[in-house]
Amino acid sequence: MNQAITLLKNLTVKLYKKNPYELKKIQGKTIDSRLNQIFICPVDKRHEELKFQESTDAILLGFEPEFEGDRVFALMVGLYTMIHKSYNSKCELFMLDYLDAQNLYNSARNIEIVVWRLKTRKKGNGQLFILTNSLKGEVQNLSYERIFGKIISLQDTMASIVSNRSGRIIKKVVQIAGMAFLPIGI
């Protein structure tokens, strides 16, 4: 869980550097202040600017054409709270804690959906909602792909470990592009 959070923090910084106009949408915010708002534990505060959404609902908000707020903030609050839920919304885990392998697996699939949406969802003017990787004519930068891949791998590995430990089978899901997010923590 700590490794995933560290990767999410790195991703947040990179996204704000690639999309500085998102940070400027809310007066007086800095990358550090946003990091402090996003990565709090326990996650007991929902953000009014995100219409009090969290997890996949906050992620979806960041891709809504009508949303005028900080899209990076919406995306990262959503990713963080989704992963946090996949670890039973706990700040610390102990050997005897029970985790649900399906929640971990579903969170990995949801991150894959996020990566697909980042590459394909565009504003009315044809620009991507949130820039990652590189644009046509730029030197190819796949560092975002690597970070997302590491987070997906961590979640899949944890799902496998928990599944083997508990003897429960993970229901594998075939995804269709644009498919709805899978539930976490029901």
Q: For residues 20 and 85, what is the distance between their CA atoms, to the nearest angstrom?
A: 29
Q: Which residue type does 67 have?
A: F
Cis peptide before 42 (omega within 30 of 0): yes
Confidence at 96, pLDDT banded by 50, 70, 90: low
Query: Which tokens go with 89?
Result: 């919304």
Among 39, 33, 32, residue whose Cα is nearest residue 81: 39
Query: Which tokens go with 146?
Result: 């690597």
What would the pLDDT profile of 101-127 be if each residue is shown by its tens digit?
A: 999 999 999 999 999 999 999 999 999
Q: What is the pTM of this model?
A: 0.90
DSSP 91-109: SS--TT----HHHHHHHHH
Q: What pLDDT is recorded for position 42?
A: 83
More reliable by pLDDT, 175 or 182:
182
Q: Which residue type does 120 have?
A: T
Cβ–Cβ < 8 Å for 8, 151? yes
Q: Which residue intervals of the chain are DSSP H helices?
A: 2-18, 20-23, 31-38, 55-62, 71-86, 101-120, 143-166
Query: What is the overall mean pLDDT for the chain?
Result: 88
Q: For residues 133 and 136, what is the distance between their CA atoms, to the nearest angstrom?
A: 10
The total of other beta-carbon atoms located within 10 Å of residue 160's CB is 14
Cβ–Cβ < 8 Å for 177, 119? no
Query: What is the Cα Rg of the chain in Å?
Result: 16
Cα 38 to chain centroid, rounded: 11
Query: Which tokens go with 69?
Result: 């707020």
What would the pLDDT profile of 20-66 be if each residue is shown by its tens digit?
A: 999 999 999 999 999 999 999 888 778 999 999 999 999 999 999 99
